[in-house]
Amino acid sequence: MYTQKSFVLKPQDAQKKWYVIDATDKIVGRLATEVADLLRGKNSPQFTPNTDSGDFVVIVNAEKIKFTGNKLDKKIYHWHTNHIGGIKQRTAREQLTKRPDLIIMNAVKGMLPKNTLGRKQLTKLKVFAGPTHEHDAQKPEVYNVKEMGNR
């Protein structure tokens, strides 16, 4: 009886690509799920859960991202300054004007594994507020995010 061995991808054998995504009029959560899949490598047939086999993702126009419902005014982002009583908060509308890159970073971070591998995969995400980025030397391909209707 012949049994086929499972395929396990070694980290040095992973073929990593660079993708650029335009976040104009994209919904935050739906964009973040696709980006998390690209960072993990789930779009590849050689996906191995315990290996960093994902691609690099560059997101431009982060300030043009969209929220559904009343999230612009009701969603609150929290962080701590590491000083006593230093808890800070902002609504999504304030965060969109001051630091739009952190909105996408936090959404994608929540969809990655909560371990050292997830933290390593998050470093492959580059988010820019404007239409230009500094990774032209890597020749990133344009990635089209699947459009899902607004419910």
- Measure the CA–CA gap between 21 and 112, rounded to whole angstroms: 18
pLDDT of 148 reads: 67
pLDDT of 8 reads: 87
- Measure the CA–CA gap between 48 and 41, rounded to whole angstroms: 8
Query: Does position 150 have pLDDT exceeding 60, yes or no?
Result: no
16-67+99-142, superfamily in CATH?
Ribosomal protein L13 (3.90.1180.10)
Query: Does position 36 have pLDDT exceeding 80, yes or no?
Result: yes
Looking at 20-147, list the stretches that DSSP marks H as alpha helix, in order from N- to C-terminal side: 28-40, 71-74, 92-98, 100-109, 116-122
Query: Does position 136 have pLDDT exceeding 80, yes or no?
Result: yes
Displacement of CA 146 from its chain's centroid (Å): 15
pLDDT of 146 reads: 82
User: Going by C-beta distance under 8 Å and a sequence separation of 6 or more, which residues neighbour residue 124?
Assistant: 39, 54, 55, 56, 57
- Measure the CA–CA gap between 65 and 21, rounded to whole angstroms: 12
Amino acid, single-letter form, for residue 99 = R
Query: Does position 2 have pLDDT exceeding 90, yes or no?
Result: no
